[in-house]
Chain A
Amino acid sequence: MGLIGKSVIKAGGVERVTGKGTFVADIKLPGMVYCAVIRSPVARGDIIAIDDSSCNRVKGYLGLFTAKSIPGNNVIPIVFRDQPCFAAKRVNYHGEPIGVVAAESKAIAHTALNRIKVTVKELEGLIDPLKAWGHRKIKLYGDDNIFRHSKIRRGDVESAFRECEVIIEDTYTTPYQEHAYIEPQGMVANPLPDGTMEIYGSMQCPFYVREAVAEVLALPLSDVRVIQTSTGGGFGGKEDVPSLVACQAALPACLLKRPVKLIYERDEDMISMSKRHPSWIHYKSGATADGILRAIQAEYIIDGGAYSTLSPVVLFRGTVHSMGPYRCENVHIDSYAVATNKVPCGAFRGFGSPQILFAVESQMDRLAQGLKMDPAEFRRRNLLKTGDTTSFGQKLSWSVGAKETLEKVVEHSGWRNHIPESAGDKRIGYGLSTVFYGVGLGAGGKHLARTGARVMVEPDASVTFSVGTTDMGQGMQTVLAQVVAQELGLPFENIRMMPTDTSRVPDSGPTVASRATTMSGNALIIACEKPRDSILTEASILLKIEKHNVVIDEGIAFDRKDGRLKVTIKEIIKNCFGKRMPLTGDGWYNTPETSWDNETGIGEPYVTYAWASNIVKLAVDTQTGEVEVLKISSAHDVGKAINPAMVECQIEGGVIQGLGFALTEEMMADSKGKLLNPEFSTYIIPTASDVPEIEPIIVEHPYPDGPYGARGFGEQPLMGIAPAVANAVADAVGVRITDLPITAEKIWRALRAK
């Protein structure tokens, strides 16, 4: 099928490998100044004064900008509207922005920052979400400090548990995970003489940024233009918070009428930007002797931090995924997003599902063990298949490749033949997990579930196209160019994706939820219809054949019945332009309907699901508790792999990030809500020397509504690794760690307690 399924070499690679790609820190504009952010020194308090009088003597100091300076509304709109751009009186987390200083250079801005005197009256803050819940005195949100409560009520768990042969009940906890994108947050705000504002920066969602800047500066949306620069990693960490960063730069830019650059320091970024929600999960599940999962009852609490930001949607997704990829008739879930005086949490690859899936997949292994059944066999008996109905009542009419992913990892990893191995102090273990992921925004974001695209064929047969979604390294530029090349029959090399720019396409929603391939891919296919039709029409005239017999591929149009009868598409396009025929197209794609009842947890929350299985093989040093991961087999049903090499790369990258979540990554806060390890030296992510053998496996059960059958899956590779590691440790040394990360120390302690 031409370019689909072909591993073409990435677009945009040459700029990046030569260091010529423009990242926001590389931008230099005439008259550009620099700003630095003033932050709250306490987790909760009242601002008494911000005094910049000693800065006035600093040469090159340009002023202080706070909530009082805001022309529009002091709010960053996300789901609810509780987060201010700058704290006006009350501060609610350590590191919360309360203003910016601007200066002629970065050094002067930082000198000024050090001289600013911030007086805050410290108040008692709520740090532990379990204590914050329903706190009688301190109200951070509503009456009970709960941003949202979601439920699933299906069947009758009480009676179902009475039937169960094995019941496992335990508490699982997971910490903050920090995105640790290598490029720190940054924005350049450039005010134009006509009163409009341009924003350049590192981001996943230009339309969110546009909305926030327009609101804060009291500008119409048409007066704000946001252009994504080359973005050095996102993973969800550049979904909502860039709106905050952009406003921090845009406010002084607007008032000084000069371009302003703001690049975060690494520790500043780690302290103040969003993270994966820490979670506390109480999970009870049971199965009957025949190996069927009968009942699930769980309480899932996520620590939302000081403002709601994305917590309501993260909770929605976590709730939908709380029973795992299995059939279960009796499900009772209560999930809560709780407010605390800590940094607001948001999106991170998996978006609320990795935490609950850690519990789900640990439980599945423990149930299997209780039944004395092979964990793979136990899952086999319960995995959803095409035609099944989920616990929330959605019939899965097509493309459920879950079982195939399970069989593939079992086959490839040596699972079947594994017997207890040991070498000296080391014990080898294998651990399995099976996960699923609702692709797209789902019912939790349905009003955003639309995307625009535009395609323009140039007279020399090169093509530019624009979409509303962004490339942050995941390869969107390449995959979408393949789609356009395929639709127009042109060589891949001449197709260029323009930088994502809010002035080029209508509001297309965010690049999140693994939605970009499906959404932008489909929108592009629609956008290509008109130019494709013009090309086919002209080809049929030139070749003197019926239009339905024209085939276009890699720059040539030929007769389906006689391959020798052909003409170059370049010539066709030249003719089209000569005849004033249209060679541009606009596409608009809405997802099919989704639904979700927050009280009952019944609905069709996502249009389609991706499926994956992982097997981790590792060795545990029984003396030190250290884990060495030897091999990970990871199989993913992606519908259709438009670019197989890139799919494998996504799997590898996500698996390593998942390994970090499993073994070493933990952002810690002290009792006053201050983060203790906001640097790469103390927040430990995997390096090249930590990488095991990884075997990525692609499975394809086409999704009928996806471009060529594809559906997104970029988040999924991370999601099942932590429980697979926990299961492998249990297999190796017989201890069950229910608190991430699974450090050497925890294993050591558990071994001693045995």
Chain B
Amino acid sequence: MIGLVDVRVNGVRIRRHVPGHFTLLRFLRESEGLTGTKCGCEIGECGACTVIMDGVAVNSCLVLTAEIDGSEIWTVEGLSHGFDLHPIQEAFLEYDAVHCGFCTPGLVMAAVALLNETPDPSEDEIKNFIAGNLCRCTGYLPIIKAIAEAAYRLRDVPRPLLA
């Protein structure tokens, strides 16, 4: 059942005919070629597919394109501009929070959503906010440190952190 989807993705308006039963994840990866958002389980348990939709972090595998009309969506591709990394991405690299990299895009977007809502999170707040993003490589500690550092660097930047 094809429907017309009219959304903004990474600041750009997109109007496309897409089957309504496609998940947002599939729409992004297949229809838009934005393969930065990853698929780890497709049942909302791993967070690898996390994107920001209308200001909140969601599992894009559990949103249907039939539901996104008029929405504003941000993916990891929207964070950096050319060779300039977002401060959150820089912090991830500096703190060795990126190992195999598969959970990274989802985590980075979760971090953006967290820092939009809570500019100065405690360690516990960070841990609880990324509890929906599974990582099997790092043991989470470098990620928590990276987000804390990013929060510090972004403390004076106006919200929301995305254009």
Binding site for B on A (CB under 8 A): 7, 9-10, 12-21, 23, 25-26, 179-184, 230-233, 235, 263, 265-266, 472-475, 645-646, 649, 652-657, 679-681, 685-689, 691, 694
Contact = CB atoms under 8 A, between A and B. Distances in A.
The A interface, classified by DSSP as helix, strand, loop or mixed, is loop
Given A17-B93, A182-B135, A652-B142, A266 B37 contact: no
Interface stretch (B1-9, B66-74, B123-131, B152-160): B123-131
A204 B136 CA distance: 16
Nearest to A658: B139
A688 B140 contact: yes
Contact of A17 (B38, B85, B133): B85
B108 interface: yes
A646 B43 contact: no
Contact of A26 (B35, B85, B98, B144): B35
A18 B85 contact: yes
A11 to B, nearest CB: 11
Interface string B80-110: 1000010001001110101111111100100
Contact of A655 (B128, B139, B142): B139
B162 interface: no
Contact of B138 (A9, A183, A235, A652): A652
Given A233-B100, A646-B96, A656-B140, A183 B40 contact: yes
24 contacts: A13-B93, A13-B101, A17-B89, A17-B92, A17-B98, A18-B36, A180-B136, A183-B38, A230-B101, A232-B38, A233-B100, A472-B100, A473-B102, A474-B99, A475-B99, A653-B99, A656-B140, A685-B134, A685-B136, A687-B131, A687-B132, A687-B134, A688-B130, A688-B131
A68 B77 CA distance: 45
Contact of B100 (A14, A231, A652, A657): A231
B42 A19 contact: no
Contacts, number: 168
Contacts of B101: 12-13, 15-17, 21, 230, 232, 473
Contacts of A235: 136
Contacts of A691: 127, 139-141, 144
Nearest to B89: A17
B39 interface: yes
Contacts of B32: none
B102 A232 contact: yes
Given A230-B100, A232-B101, A689-B128, A680 B46 contact: yes
Nearest to B102: A232
A10 B98 contact: yes
Interface string B50-87: 00000000000000000000000001110110000100
Interface string B13-56: 00000000000000001000001111111110110100000000
Contacts of A233: 99-100, 102, 136-137
B143 interface: yes
A227 B127 CA distance: 36
Given A183-B38, A183-B40, A688-B133, A14 B79 contact: no
B103 to A, nearest CB: 5
A656 B96 contact: no
Contacts of B85: 14, 17-18
A688 B128 CA distance: 7
A235 B99 CA distance: 13
B139 A652 contact: yes
Best-surrounded residue of A16, A263, A646 (most CB of chain B within 10 A): A16
Contacts of B98: 10, 13, 16-17
Of B38, B48, B141, B144, which is in contact with the most chain A CB atoms at under 10 Å from its CB? B141
Given A649-B138, A652-B141, A653-B137, A19 B96 contact: no
A7 B142 CA distance: 14
A414 B103 CA distance: 35
Contact of B134 (A10, A646, A680): A680
A69 B98 CA distance: 42
Contacts of A657: 136, 139
A37 to B, nearest CB: 17
Nearest 9 interchain pairs by C-beta: A19-B36, A473-B100, A16-B101, A232-B102, A680-B45, A652-B139, A473-B99, A656-B139, A19-B76
Contacts of A680: 40-41, 43, 45-46, 134
Contacts of A694: 139, 141
Given A679-B45, A688-B131, A18 B38 contact: no
Given A19-B76, A180-B134, A473-B100, 16 more contacts: A9-B96, A13-B92, A14-B85, A18-B36, A18-B89, A19-B75, A23-B38, A179-B136, A182-B48, A473-B99, A679-B45, A680-B40, A680-B46, A687-B132, A688-B140, A689-B127
